[in-house]
Chain A
Amino acid sequence: MKRFTKLLSKTLIIAAGFSALTATADVLQDIKKRDLIRIAVPQDFPPFGSIGTDLKPQGIDIDMANYIADEMGVDIEIVPVTSANRIPYLQTKKVDLVISSLGKNPEREKAIDFSTPYAPFFLGVFGSKDVSVTKIEELAGKTVGVTRGSVEDLELEKYAPKSVDVRRFEDNNTTLTAYLSGQVNLIATGNLVATEIATRRPSRAPENKFMLKDSPCYIGMAEGETALQAEVNRLIQKALANGELNKISMKWLKAPLPKGFGA
Protein backbone atom coordinates (compact mmCIF):
# COMPACT_ATOMS: atom_id res chain seq x y z
CA MET A 1 0.00 0.00 0.00
CA LYS A 2 2.82 2.30 0.88
CA ARG A 3 4.47 1.53 -2.42
CA PHE A 4 1.26 2.28 -4.23
CA THR A 5 0.86 5.68 -2.53
CA LYS A 6 4.41 6.52 -3.39
CA LEU A 7 3.86 5.56 -7.00
CA LEU A 8 0.66 7.55 -7.08
CA SER A 9 2.30 10.67 -5.68
CA LYS A 10 5.17 10.29 -8.12
CA THR A 11 2.74 10.04 -10.99
CA LEU A 12 0.89 13.06 -9.77
CA ILE A 13 4.08 15.07 -9.54
CA ILE A 14 5.05 14.09 -13.06
CA ALA A 15 1.57 14.88 -14.30
CA ALA A 16 1.62 18.24 -12.57
CA GLY A 17 5.00 18.91 -14.06
CA PHE A 18 3.65 18.10 -17.50
CA SER A 19 0.67 20.38 -17.24
CA ALA A 20 2.92 23.15 -15.94
CA LEU A 21 5.20 22.50 -18.89
CA THR A 22 2.39 22.61 -21.46
CA ALA A 23 0.90 25.68 -19.90
CA THR A 24 4.06 27.68 -20.32
CA ALA A 25 5.37 25.96 -23.44
CA ASP A 26 5.78 28.14 -26.46
CA VAL A 27 5.19 26.01 -29.52
CA LEU A 28 7.05 28.48 -31.72
CA GLN A 29 10.19 28.07 -29.56
CA ASP A 30 9.72 24.29 -29.55
CA ILE A 31 9.62 24.32 -33.35
CA LYS A 32 12.81 26.36 -33.56
CA LYS A 33 14.50 24.20 -30.91
CA ARG A 34 13.76 20.90 -32.61
CA ASP A 35 14.26 22.50 -36.03
CA LEU A 36 11.11 20.79 -37.26
CA ILE A 37 7.53 21.85 -37.80
CA ARG A 38 4.78 19.23 -37.94
CA ILE A 39 1.82 20.23 -40.11
CA ALA A 40 -1.44 18.35 -40.62
CA VAL A 41 -2.67 18.34 -44.23
CA PRO A 42 -5.61 16.64 -45.97
CA GLN A 43 -5.04 13.79 -48.40
CA ASP A 44 -8.54 13.25 -49.69
CA PHE A 45 -9.68 16.71 -50.74
CA PRO A 46 -8.25 17.98 -54.02
CA PRO A 47 -7.17 20.59 -54.89
CA PHE A 48 -6.38 21.31 -51.23
CA GLY A 49 -4.67 18.04 -50.55
CA SER A 50 -4.50 14.75 -52.40
CA ILE A 51 -2.00 12.06 -53.27
CA GLY A 52 -0.22 12.73 -56.54
CA THR A 53 0.88 10.18 -59.12
CA ASP A 54 4.27 10.09 -57.37
CA LEU A 55 2.43 9.00 -54.18
CA LYS A 56 3.38 12.27 -52.49
CA PRO A 57 0.81 14.64 -51.01
CA GLN A 58 0.11 17.66 -53.21
CA GLY A 59 -2.21 20.65 -53.23
CA ILE A 60 -2.79 24.13 -51.87
CA ASP A 61 -2.41 23.04 -48.26
CA ILE A 62 0.85 21.21 -48.96
CA ASP A 63 2.27 24.21 -50.82
CA MET A 64 1.21 26.44 -47.97
CA ALA A 65 2.80 24.10 -45.39
CA ASN A 66 6.08 24.05 -47.32
CA TYR A 67 6.00 27.83 -47.61
CA ILE A 68 5.58 28.27 -43.86
CA ALA A 69 8.39 25.80 -43.09
CA ASP A 70 10.72 27.43 -45.63
CA GLU A 71 10.10 30.89 -44.26
CA MET A 72 10.65 29.73 -40.70
CA GLY A 73 13.81 28.00 -41.83
CA VAL A 74 12.95 24.66 -40.27
CA ASP A 75 12.41 21.12 -41.56
CA ILE A 76 8.88 19.95 -42.20
CA GLU A 77 6.97 16.84 -41.29
CA ILE A 78 3.78 16.44 -43.31
CA VAL A 79 1.11 14.59 -41.34
CA PRO A 80 -1.86 13.41 -43.43
CA VAL A 81 -5.15 13.72 -41.55
CA THR A 82 -8.84 13.37 -42.31
CA SER A 83 -11.37 16.12 -41.75
CA ALA A 84 -12.65 14.26 -38.67
CA ASN A 85 -9.34 13.88 -36.85
CA ARG A 86 -7.52 17.08 -37.82
CA ILE A 87 -8.59 18.96 -34.67
CA PRO A 88 -7.82 16.08 -32.25
CA TYR A 89 -4.32 15.87 -33.79
CA LEU A 90 -3.84 19.53 -32.89
CA GLN A 91 -5.32 19.25 -29.42
CA THR A 92 -3.17 16.25 -28.49
CA LYS A 93 -0.10 18.14 -29.76
CA LYS A 94 0.72 15.60 -32.45
CA VAL A 95 1.03 18.52 -34.87
CA ASP A 96 1.92 22.20 -34.53
CA LEU A 97 -0.34 23.55 -37.26
CA VAL A 98 -3.37 22.34 -39.15
CA ILE A 99 -3.42 23.48 -42.76
CA SER A 100 -6.36 21.44 -43.92
CA SER A 101 -8.93 23.63 -45.70
CA LEU A 102 -10.18 24.58 -42.27
CA GLY A 103 -13.22 26.86 -42.10
CA LYS A 104 -13.87 29.13 -39.14
CA ASN A 105 -17.01 29.11 -36.99
CA PRO A 106 -17.76 30.22 -33.42
CA GLU A 107 -17.92 26.63 -32.24
CA ARG A 108 -14.43 25.87 -33.50
CA GLU A 109 -13.06 29.17 -32.21
CA LYS A 110 -13.78 27.98 -28.69
CA ALA A 111 -11.48 24.99 -29.20
CA ILE A 112 -8.57 26.30 -31.26
CA ASP A 113 -7.11 29.53 -32.61
CA PHE A 114 -7.08 30.61 -36.22
CA SER A 115 -4.71 32.56 -38.42
CA THR A 116 -5.86 35.03 -41.06
CA PRO A 117 -7.27 33.35 -44.20
CA TYR A 118 -4.80 31.83 -46.67
CA ALA A 119 -7.04 30.33 -49.39
CA PRO A 120 -10.41 31.24 -50.88
CA PHE A 121 -13.41 28.97 -50.44
CA PHE A 122 -16.76 30.44 -51.35
CA LEU A 123 -20.05 30.16 -53.16
CA GLY A 124 -20.57 32.71 -55.84
CA VAL A 125 -21.98 33.55 -59.21
CA PHE A 126 -19.59 32.74 -62.04
CA GLY A 127 -19.92 33.43 -65.72
CA SER A 128 -18.30 33.91 -69.07
CA LYS A 129 -16.27 37.05 -69.65
CA ASP A 130 -18.80 38.75 -71.94
CA VAL A 131 -21.47 38.89 -69.21
CA SER A 132 -20.99 41.90 -66.98
CA VAL A 133 -22.49 41.49 -63.54
CA THR A 134 -20.90 42.81 -60.37
CA LYS A 135 -23.57 42.39 -57.73
CA ILE A 136 -26.65 40.33 -57.07
CA GLU A 137 -29.08 43.14 -58.00
CA GLU A 138 -27.64 43.18 -61.51
CA LEU A 139 -28.84 39.61 -62.09
CA ALA A 140 -32.32 41.02 -62.75
CA GLY A 141 -33.66 39.70 -66.06
CA LYS A 142 -30.69 37.33 -66.54
CA THR A 143 -30.60 33.54 -66.59
CA VAL A 144 -28.63 31.71 -63.90
CA GLY A 145 -28.05 27.98 -63.70
CA VAL A 146 -27.83 26.29 -60.30
CA THR A 147 -27.99 22.83 -58.78
CA ARG A 148 -31.38 22.27 -57.22
CA GLY A 149 -31.51 22.12 -53.44
CA SER A 150 -27.88 23.20 -52.97
CA VAL A 151 -26.87 25.95 -50.54
CA GLU A 152 -26.27 28.32 -53.47
CA ASP A 153 -29.81 27.60 -54.71
CA LEU A 154 -31.22 28.66 -51.35
CA GLU A 155 -28.98 31.75 -51.23
CA LEU A 156 -30.15 32.80 -54.70
CA GLU A 157 -33.76 32.31 -53.75
CA LYS A 158 -33.24 34.44 -50.65
CA TYR A 159 -31.30 37.37 -52.11
CA ALA A 160 -31.70 37.48 -55.89
CA PRO A 161 -34.28 39.81 -57.46
CA LYS A 162 -37.56 38.18 -58.49
CA SER A 163 -36.98 38.74 -62.21
CA VAL A 164 -33.99 36.37 -62.32
CA ASP A 165 -34.66 33.30 -64.45
CA VAL A 166 -33.21 30.61 -62.20
CA ARG A 167 -32.73 27.34 -64.07
CA ARG A 168 -32.38 24.50 -61.61
CA PHE A 169 -30.61 21.33 -62.67
CA GLU A 170 -30.50 17.91 -61.11
CA ASP A 171 -26.86 17.79 -60.01
CA ASN A 172 -23.54 19.64 -60.24
CA ASN A 173 -22.60 17.81 -63.40
CA THR A 174 -25.75 18.82 -65.28
CA THR A 175 -25.34 22.43 -64.13
CA LEU A 176 -21.77 22.29 -65.36
CA THR A 177 -22.86 20.85 -68.73
CA ALA A 178 -25.50 23.57 -69.07
CA TYR A 179 -22.76 26.16 -68.67
CA LEU A 180 -20.26 24.40 -70.93
CA SER A 181 -22.83 23.96 -73.72
CA GLY A 182 -23.76 27.63 -73.49
CA GLN A 183 -27.32 27.00 -72.37
CA VAL A 184 -26.63 29.33 -69.46
CA ASN A 185 -23.87 31.94 -69.26
CA LEU A 186 -24.05 32.41 -65.51
CA ILE A 187 -24.00 29.76 -62.80
CA ALA A 188 -24.14 29.90 -59.05
CA THR A 189 -21.74 27.39 -57.56
CA GLY A 190 -18.66 26.88 -55.39
CA ASN A 191 -15.22 28.09 -56.48
CA LEU A 192 -13.99 24.48 -56.63
CA VAL A 193 -16.62 23.65 -59.26
CA ALA A 194 -15.50 26.73 -61.20
CA THR A 195 -11.95 25.39 -61.01
CA GLU A 196 -13.21 22.07 -62.35
CA ILE A 197 -14.70 23.86 -65.39
CA ALA A 198 -11.51 25.84 -65.93
CA THR A 199 -9.53 22.59 -65.91
CA ARG A 200 -11.85 20.77 -68.29
CA ARG A 201 -12.37 23.64 -70.73
CA PRO A 202 -9.88 26.48 -70.27
CA SER A 203 -11.44 28.42 -73.17
CA ARG A 204 -14.69 28.73 -71.25
CA ALA A 205 -13.15 29.23 -67.81
CA PRO A 206 -15.77 31.07 -65.75
CA GLU A 207 -14.76 34.16 -63.86
CA ASN A 208 -16.11 35.07 -60.46
CA LYS A 209 -18.70 37.85 -60.67
CA PHE A 210 -19.52 38.18 -56.99
CA MET A 211 -19.76 36.09 -53.84
CA LEU A 212 -22.89 34.61 -52.33
CA LYS A 213 -21.30 33.13 -49.25
CA ASP A 214 -17.69 33.44 -48.18
CA SER A 215 -15.99 30.86 -45.99
CA PRO A 216 -12.22 31.04 -46.62
CA CYS A 217 -9.68 28.59 -45.19
CA TYR A 218 -7.64 29.38 -42.11
CA ILE A 219 -4.62 27.78 -40.50
CA GLY A 220 -5.50 26.25 -37.14
CA MET A 221 -3.27 26.13 -34.07
CA ALA A 222 -3.54 25.32 -30.38
CA GLU A 223 -5.23 27.92 -28.20
CA GLY A 224 -3.18 30.67 -26.61
CA GLU A 225 -0.07 30.27 -28.81
CA THR A 226 0.12 34.00 -29.47
CA ALA A 227 3.73 33.96 -30.63
CA LEU A 228 3.05 31.22 -33.16
CA GLN A 229 -0.15 32.90 -34.29
CA ALA A 230 1.65 36.22 -34.83
CA GLU A 231 4.42 34.52 -36.80
CA VAL A 232 1.99 32.58 -39.02
CA ASN A 233 -0.08 35.71 -39.64
CA ARG A 234 3.07 37.64 -40.53
CA LEU A 235 4.04 34.96 -43.08
CA ILE A 236 0.53 34.94 -44.59
CA GLN A 237 0.57 38.73 -44.89
CA LYS A 238 3.96 38.54 -46.54
CA ALA A 239 2.77 35.89 -49.02
CA LEU A 240 -0.29 37.96 -49.75
CA ALA A 241 1.82 41.06 -50.38
CA ASN A 242 4.49 39.41 -52.56
CA GLY A 243 1.99 37.45 -54.65
CA GLU A 244 2.91 34.00 -53.33
CA LEU A 245 -0.68 33.29 -52.22
CA ASN A 246 -2.02 34.41 -55.57
CA LYS A 247 0.47 32.10 -57.30
CA ILE A 248 -0.78 29.14 -55.26
CA SER A 249 -4.37 30.09 -56.09
CA MET A 250 -3.56 30.34 -59.81
CA LYS A 251 -1.78 26.99 -59.72
CA TRP A 252 -4.46 24.95 -57.98
CA LEU A 253 -7.70 26.91 -58.39
CA LYS A 254 -6.96 28.30 -61.89
CA ALA A 255 -8.19 31.67 -60.68
CA PRO A 256 -6.68 34.67 -58.92
CA LEU A 257 -7.60 35.39 -55.31
CA PRO A 258 -10.98 37.13 -55.11
CA LYS A 259 -10.92 40.92 -54.78
CA GLY A 260 -10.32 42.10 -51.23
CA PHE A 261 -9.11 38.68 -50.05
CA GLY A 262 -7.65 38.74 -46.53
CA ALA A 263 -8.69 42.34 -46.00
Chain B
Amino acid sequence: MLHFADLLQYSDLFFSGLLTTVELTVLTTILGIAVGTSCASIRQYGNKTSQGVVSVYVELIRNTPFIVQLFFIFFGLPALGVRLSPWEASMIALTINLGAYSTEIIRAGLASIPKGQVEAAKVLGLNFRQTLTRVIFIPAFEKIYPALVSQCIIVMLGSAVISQISVEDLTYAANLVQSRNFRAFESYLVTAALYLGLSILLRFALNAIGKRLFVYREAS
Protein backbone atom coordinates (compact mmCIF):
# COMPACT_ATOMS: atom_id res chain seq x y z
CA MET B 1 0.00 0.00 0.00
CA LEU B 2 1.22 3.47 -0.84
CA HIS B 3 0.58 6.36 1.49
CA PHE B 4 0.98 9.55 -0.48
CA ALA B 5 -1.24 11.34 2.02
CA ASP B 6 1.63 11.11 4.53
CA LEU B 7 3.61 13.46 2.29
CA LEU B 8 0.98 16.20 2.31
CA GLN B 9 2.11 17.73 5.59
CA TYR B 10 5.57 18.15 4.05
CA SER B 11 4.36 19.87 0.88
CA ASP B 12 5.93 23.16 2.02
CA LEU B 13 9.27 21.44 2.35
CA PHE B 14 9.02 19.94 -1.14
CA PHE B 15 7.97 23.28 -2.55
CA SER B 16 10.83 25.25 -0.99
CA GLY B 17 13.24 22.49 -2.09
CA LEU B 18 11.90 22.72 -5.63
CA LEU B 19 12.35 26.49 -5.54
CA THR B 20 15.97 26.19 -4.41
CA THR B 21 16.71 23.73 -7.20
CA VAL B 22 15.06 26.00 -9.80
CA GLU B 23 16.84 29.07 -8.48
CA LEU B 24 20.24 27.37 -8.58
CA THR B 25 19.57 25.90 -12.01
CA VAL B 26 18.59 29.23 -13.57
CA LEU B 27 21.57 31.03 -12.05
CA THR B 28 24.15 28.37 -12.92
CA THR B 29 22.77 27.96 -16.46
CA ILE B 30 23.27 31.67 -17.15
CA LEU B 31 26.64 31.94 -15.40
CA GLY B 32 27.89 28.58 -16.66
CA ILE B 33 27.16 29.40 -20.29
CA ALA B 34 28.81 32.81 -19.83
CA VAL B 35 31.93 31.10 -18.45
CA GLY B 36 31.77 28.51 -21.23
CA THR B 37 31.46 31.16 -23.96
CA SER B 38 34.41 33.15 -22.62
CA CYS B 39 36.61 30.10 -22.20
CA ALA B 40 35.64 28.70 -25.61
CA SER B 41 36.55 32.02 -27.26
CA ILE B 42 39.92 31.98 -25.50
CA ARG B 43 40.53 28.38 -26.47
CA GLN B 44 39.65 29.12 -30.10
CA TYR B 45 41.12 32.59 -30.60
CA GLY B 46 43.34 33.35 -27.58
CA ASN B 47 47.13 33.21 -27.28
CA LYS B 48 49.09 30.13 -26.23
CA THR B 49 49.29 30.96 -22.50
CA SER B 50 45.59 31.71 -22.03
CA GLN B 51 44.74 28.64 -24.12
CA GLY B 52 46.88 26.58 -21.75
CA VAL B 53 45.18 27.97 -18.66
CA VAL B 54 41.72 27.24 -20.06
CA SER B 55 42.78 23.72 -21.09
CA VAL B 56 43.95 22.96 -17.56
CA TYR B 57 40.64 24.21 -16.13
CA VAL B 58 38.53 22.25 -18.60
CA GLU B 59 40.46 19.01 -18.25
CA LEU B 60 40.60 19.28 -14.45
CA ILE B 61 36.84 19.68 -14.13
CA ARG B 62 35.85 17.22 -16.84
CA ASN B 63 38.04 14.49 -15.39
CA THR B 64 37.06 14.65 -11.72
CA PRO B 65 33.74 13.72 -10.08
CA PHE B 66 31.36 16.56 -9.32
CA ILE B 67 30.93 15.52 -5.70
CA VAL B 68 34.68 15.76 -5.15
CA GLN B 69 34.72 19.27 -6.63
CA LEU B 70 31.83 20.21 -4.37
CA PHE B 71 33.45 18.74 -1.23
CA PHE B 72 36.72 20.45 -2.11
CA ILE B 73 35.02 23.84 -2.30
CA PHE B 74 32.89 23.32 0.81
CA PHE B 75 35.11 21.28 3.12
CA GLY B 76 38.55 21.93 1.62
CA LEU B 77 38.66 25.67 1.04
CA PRO B 78 38.06 26.60 4.71
CA ALA B 79 41.61 25.31 5.30
CA LEU B 80 42.76 28.21 3.10
CA GLY B 81 40.53 30.62 4.99
CA VAL B 82 37.74 30.72 2.39
CA ARG B 83 34.49 29.80 4.10
CA LEU B 84 31.47 29.67 1.80
CA SER B 85 27.90 28.95 2.80
CA PRO B 86 26.45 25.69 1.45
CA TRP B 87 24.41 27.66 -1.07
CA GLU B 88 27.38 29.71 -2.32
CA ALA B 89 29.61 26.63 -2.51
CA SER B 90 26.98 24.79 -4.59
CA MET B 91 26.45 27.76 -6.89
CA ILE B 92 30.17 28.04 -7.58
CA ALA B 93 30.68 24.30 -7.98
CA LEU B 94 27.77 23.98 -10.42
CA THR B 95 28.89 27.01 -12.42
CA ILE B 96 32.46 25.79 -12.66
CA ASN B 97 31.22 22.38 -13.71
CA LEU B 98 28.82 23.61 -16.40
CA GLY B 99 31.45 26.15 -17.49
CA ALA B 100 33.99 23.44 -18.26
CA TYR B 101 31.61 21.17 -20.15
CA SER B 102 30.01 24.00 -22.11
CA THR B 103 33.47 25.33 -23.06
CA GLU B 104 34.10 22.19 -25.05
CA ILE B 105 30.61 22.20 -26.60
CA ILE B 106 30.78 25.87 -27.60
CA ARG B 107 34.34 25.53 -28.89
CA ALA B 108 33.09 22.81 -31.24
CA GLY B 109 30.51 25.30 -32.50
CA LEU B 110 33.11 28.01 -33.04
CA ALA B 111 35.42 25.57 -34.79
CA SER B 112 32.62 24.72 -37.21
CA ILE B 113 32.48 28.27 -38.56
CA PRO B 114 34.50 28.23 -41.78
CA LYS B 115 37.16 30.91 -42.17
CA GLY B 116 35.55 31.92 -45.45
CA GLN B 117 32.39 32.96 -43.66
CA VAL B 118 34.27 35.51 -41.55
CA GLU B 119 36.17 36.73 -44.62
CA ALA B 120 32.89 37.06 -46.50
CA ALA B 121 31.52 39.23 -43.66
CA LYS B 122 34.58 41.46 -43.96
CA VAL B 123 34.17 41.77 -47.72
CA LEU B 124 30.51 42.66 -47.28
CA GLY B 125 31.54 45.49 -44.94
CA LEU B 126 30.09 44.17 -41.66
CA ASN B 127 31.72 45.75 -38.65
CA PHE B 128 33.48 43.81 -35.85
CA ARG B 129 30.45 43.62 -33.57
CA GLN B 130 28.14 42.46 -36.36
CA THR B 131 30.65 39.86 -37.49
CA LEU B 132 31.12 38.54 -33.98
CA THR B 133 27.43 38.15 -33.15
CA ARG B 134 25.74 37.41 -36.47
CA VAL B 135 28.45 35.65 -38.39
CA ILE B 136 30.31 33.78 -35.66
CA PHE B 137 28.39 33.32 -32.41
CA ILE B 138 24.78 32.91 -33.47
CA PRO B 139 25.51 30.36 -36.21
CA ALA B 140 27.95 28.59 -33.87
CA PHE B 141 25.41 28.39 -31.06
CA GLU B 142 22.72 27.24 -33.43
CA LYS B 143 24.81 24.22 -34.40
CA ILE B 144 25.55 23.09 -30.86
CA TYR B 145 22.35 24.27 -29.16
CA PRO B 146 20.76 20.82 -28.59
CA ALA B 147 23.96 19.55 -26.97
CA LEU B 148 24.16 22.64 -24.75
CA VAL B 149 20.55 22.24 -23.62
CA SER B 150 21.24 18.61 -22.69
CA GLN B 151 24.30 19.64 -20.69
CA CYS B 152 22.25 22.21 -18.74
CA ILE B 153 19.73 19.51 -17.87
CA ILE B 154 22.50 17.14 -16.82
CA VAL B 155 23.81 19.83 -14.47
CA MET B 156 20.35 20.43 -13.04
CA LEU B 157 19.92 16.71 -12.33
CA GLY B 158 23.47 16.53 -10.97
CA SER B 159 22.60 19.29 -8.54
CA ALA B 160 20.84 16.63 -6.46
CA VAL B 161 24.26 15.97 -4.95
CA ILE B 162 24.38 19.35 -3.18
CA SER B 163 21.99 18.04 -0.52
CA GLN B 164 25.11 16.30 0.80
CA ILE B 165 26.45 19.62 2.05
CA SER B 166 23.09 20.50 3.59
CA VAL B 167 21.69 22.73 0.85
CA GLU B 168 17.94 22.42 1.21
CA ASP B 169 17.14 21.50 -2.39
CA LEU B 170 14.60 19.05 -3.73
CA THR B 171 16.66 15.96 -2.92
CA TYR B 172 17.28 17.28 0.59
CA ALA B 173 13.51 17.55 1.06
CA ALA B 174 13.07 13.98 -0.15
CA ASN B 175 15.78 12.66 2.17
CA LEU B 176 14.46 14.58 5.14
CA VAL B 177 10.85 13.50 4.63
CA GLN B 178 12.00 9.93 4.13
CA SER B 179 14.01 10.04 7.37
CA ARG B 180 10.98 11.35 9.26
CA ASN B 181 8.13 9.15 8.11
CA PHE B 182 10.03 6.24 6.46
CA ARG B 183 7.90 6.54 3.33
CA ALA B 184 10.91 6.13 1.07
CA PHE B 185 9.09 4.88 -1.99
CA GLU B 186 6.44 7.61 -1.98
CA SER B 187 8.92 10.35 -1.15
CA TYR B 188 11.38 9.46 -3.92
CA LEU B 189 8.63 8.77 -6.42
CA VAL B 190 7.23 12.27 -5.94
CA THR B 191 10.74 13.71 -6.13
CA ALA B 192 11.51 11.83 -9.34
CA ALA B 193 8.28 13.13 -10.85
CA LEU B 194 9.20 16.68 -9.84
CA TYR B 195 12.67 16.37 -11.40
CA LEU B 196 11.11 14.95 -14.56
CA GLY B 197 8.71 17.90 -14.70
CA LEU B 198 11.58 20.32 -14.14
CA SER B 199 13.66 18.75 -16.93
CA ILE B 200 10.80 18.95 -19.39
CA LEU B 201 10.13 22.55 -18.39
CA LEU B 202 13.79 23.54 -18.67
CA ARG B 203 14.13 21.94 -22.09
CA PHE B 204 10.94 23.67 -23.20
CA ALA B 205 12.16 27.05 -21.94
CA LEU B 206 15.63 26.74 -23.47
CA ASN B 207 14.18 25.60 -26.80
CA ALA B 208 11.83 28.59 -26.78
CA ILE B 209 14.83 30.88 -26.21
CA GLY B 210 16.64 29.11 -29.06
CA LYS B 211 13.76 29.71 -31.43
CA ARG B 212 13.91 33.46 -30.77
CA LEU B 213 17.69 33.57 -30.93
CA PHE B 214 18.15 31.76 -34.22
CA VAL B 215 15.84 33.67 -36.50
CA TYR B 216 18.63 34.21 -39.04
CA ARG B 217 18.40 30.81 -40.62
CA GLU B 218 21.02 29.77 -43.13
CA ALA B 219 19.64 29.58 -46.64
CA SER B 220 19.94 25.99 -47.66
Contact = CB atoms under 8 A, between A and B. Distances in A.
B83 interface: yes
A169 B74 CA distance: 13
A178 B179 CA distance: 20
A133 B150 CA distance: 49
7 residue pairs, one from A and one from B, having the closest CB atoms: A149-B179, A167-B166, A181-B78, A181-B75, A182-B78, A177-B75, A170-B164
A148 B163 CA distance: 11
Interface in A148-175: 148-149, 153, 167-170, 174
A177 B77 CA distance: 12
Interface string B153-164: 000000000011
Grouping DSSP codes into helix (H, G, I), strand (E, B) and loop, the B interface class, with mixed when no group exceeds half, is helix
Contacts of A91: none
A21 to B, nearest CB: 51
B86 interface: yes
B103 to A, nearest CB: 30
A183 B83 contact: yes
Interface string B67-88: 0000000111011000100100
Given A181-B74, A183-B83, 15 more contacts: A145-B166, A149-B176, A149-B180, A167-B86, A168-B172, A169-B165, A170-B175, A174-B164, A181-B76, A181-B79, A182-B78, A182-B83, A183-B74, A183-B75, A183-B86
Report the interface size class on chain A. 10 to 19
Chain A binding surface, main DSSP class: mixed
Interface string B13-45: 000000000000000000000000000000000
B175 A169 contact: no
Contacts of A169: 164-166
Nearest to B163: A170
A181 B175 CA distance: 24
Interface of A: 145, 148-149, 153, 167-170, 174, 177-178, 181-183
A60 B64 CA distance: 44
A153 B179 CA distance: 10
A2 B164 CA distance: 78
A177 B74 CA distance: 10
Interface centre among B163, B165, B175 (most CB of A within 10 A): B165
Q: How large is the interface on B (under 10, 10 to 19, 20 to 34, 35 or more residues)?
A: 10 to 19
A167 B164 CA distance: 10
Interface in B163-211: 163-166, 172, 175-176, 178-180
B176 A168 contact: yes
A178 B75 contact: yes
Contacts of A145: 166
Contact of A148 (B74, B78, B175): B175
Contacts of A177: 75
Contacts of A174: 164-165
Nearest to A147: B179
Contacts of B172: 168
A101 B172 CA distance: 35
25 contacts: A145-B166, A148-B179, A149-B176, A149-B179, A153-B179, A167-B86, A167-B166, A168-B172, A168-B176, A169-B164, A169-B165, A170-B163, A170-B175, A174-B165, A177-B75, A178-B75, A178-B165, A178-B166, A181-B74, A181-B78, A182-B83, A183-B74, A183-B78, A183-B86, A183-B165
A181 B75 CA distance: 6
Contacts of A183: 74-75, 78, 83, 86, 165
Contacts of B86: 167, 183
A24 B156 CA distance: 74
A183 B79 CA distance: 10
A168 B78 contact: no
Given A167-B86, A169-B165, A170-B164, A148 B79 contact: no
A170 B79 CA distance: 21
Nearest to B71: A177
A167, A170, A183: residue with the most chain B Cβ atoms closer than 10 Å: A183
